[in-house]
Amino acid sequence: MEKQPIRPSDKPSDNPVVVRFAPSPTGYLHIGGARTAIFNWLYARQTGGKFILRIEDTDAERSTPDSIRGIVEGMKWLGLDWDEGPNFQSRAIGDHQAAAEKLLASGHAYRCFCTKEELDQKREQAVQARQTYIYDGKCRDLLPDQVAENEARGMTSAIRLKVPREQGSLVFEDAVYGSVEKQFRDLEDFIIVRSNGNPLYILSNAVDDIRDRVTHIIRGQDGLANTPKQILLYRALGAPLPVFAHMSLTLDPKKAKISKRRHGEMVAIHYYREKGFLPWAFVNFLVLLGWATTGSREIFSREELIRSFNLKGISRTNSVFNITPGDAGFATDPKALSINAHYLRTMDVEELAVYIRPLLEKEGLWDKAYEADSRQRFLDTINLIRSRFHLITDFTTLGRAYFSDEFPMDPAGLEKHLAARPELAAPLEALGREIRAMETFGEKEVEAKLRELLKELGIKPGILINAVRMALTGQAVGPDFMKSLVILGQDRVADRLSKAAKHFP
- If binding is defined by CB under 6 A, does position 219 make contact with ligand GLU? yes
Residue choice 56, 189, 208, 212 for contact with ligand GLU (CB under 6 A): 56
391 neighbors 428 (Cβ within 8 angstroms)? no
Residue choice 17, 18, 23, 78 for contact with ligand GLU (CB under 6 A): 23
Residue choice 58, 63, 169, 205 for contact with ligand GLU (CB under 6 A): 205
In whole angstroms, the minimum distance from the beta carbon of 95 to ligand GLU comes to: 16
DSSP reduced 3-state for 108: coil
Q: What is the 3-state secondary structure (H, E, C) of 449-465?
A: HHHHHHHHHCCCHHHHH
Residue among 251 and 463 whose Cβ is closer to ligand GLU:
251
Task: Point out which span in 19-27, 59-67, 275-283, 449-457 binds ligand GLU (CB under 6 A).
Answer: 19-27
Pairing of strands 216-220, 191-193: unpaired
Task: Point out which span in 20-28, 259-267, 391-399, 444-452 binds ligand GLU (CB under 6 A).
Answer: 20-28
In whole angstroms, the minimum distance from the beta carbon of 216 to ligand GLU comes to: 11
Reported in sequence order, the residue ranges of 168-279 that DSSP labels E, i.e. its strands, are: 169-174, 178-183, 191-193, 216-220, 243-247, 250-251
Pairing of strands 109-112, 216-220: unpaired
In whole angstroms, the minimum distance from the beta carbon of 395 to ligand GLU comes to: 36
Residue 174 pairs in a beta bridge with 178, 244
Please provide residue 18's backbone torsions phi and psi, each rounded to the nearest 5 degrees: -130, 125
Residue among 225 and 256 whose Cβ is closer to ligand GLU:
225
289 neighbors 319 (Cβ within 8 angstroms)? yes
Distant-in-sequence, close-in-space partners of 432: CB < 8 Å, separation ≥ 6 = 493, 494, 495, 496, 497, 498, 499, 500
Q: Is 260 a catalytic residue?
A: yes
CA 256 and chain centroid, separation: 18
Residue among 50 and 219 whose Cβ is closer to ligand GLU:
219
- CA-to-CA distance for 144 and 142, rounded, in angstroms? 7
DSSP reduced 3-state for 278: coil
In whole angstroms, the minimum distance from the beta carbon of 251 to ligand GLU comes to: 17
Instruction: Note the residue count of the chain.
Output: 505
User: In Å, how far are 101, 148, 166 from 144, measured between CA atoms?
Assistant: 15, 6, 24
- State which of positions 222-241 bind ligand GLU (CB under 6 A): 223
Residue among 56 and 252 whose Cβ is closer to ligand GLU:
56
In whole angstroms, the minimum distance from the beta carbon of 346 to ligand GLU comes to: 35
In whole angstroms, the minimum distance from the beta carbon of 29 to ligand GLU comes to: 11
Query: CA nearest 345: which of 242, 481, 479, 176?
Result: 479
- CA-to-CA distance for 168 and 152, rounded, in angstroms? 38
Residue choice 4, 24, 204, 319 for contact with ligand GLU (CB under 6 A): 24
Task: Point out which span in 18-26, 141-149, 283-291, 491-499 binds ligand GLU (CB under 6 A).
Answer: 18-26
Convert residues 300-329 into a mask of x (bound to ligand GLU by CB under 6 A) and - (unbound): ------------------------------
DSSP reduced 3-state for 35: helix
Of 102, 260, 449, 483, catalytic: 260
Task: Point out which span in 16-24, 186-194, 276-284, 496-504 binds ligand GLU (CB under 6 A).
Answer: 16-24
Q: Which residues are at the interface with ligand GLU (CB under 6 A)? A: 22-24, 56, 205, 219, 223
Active-site residue set: 260
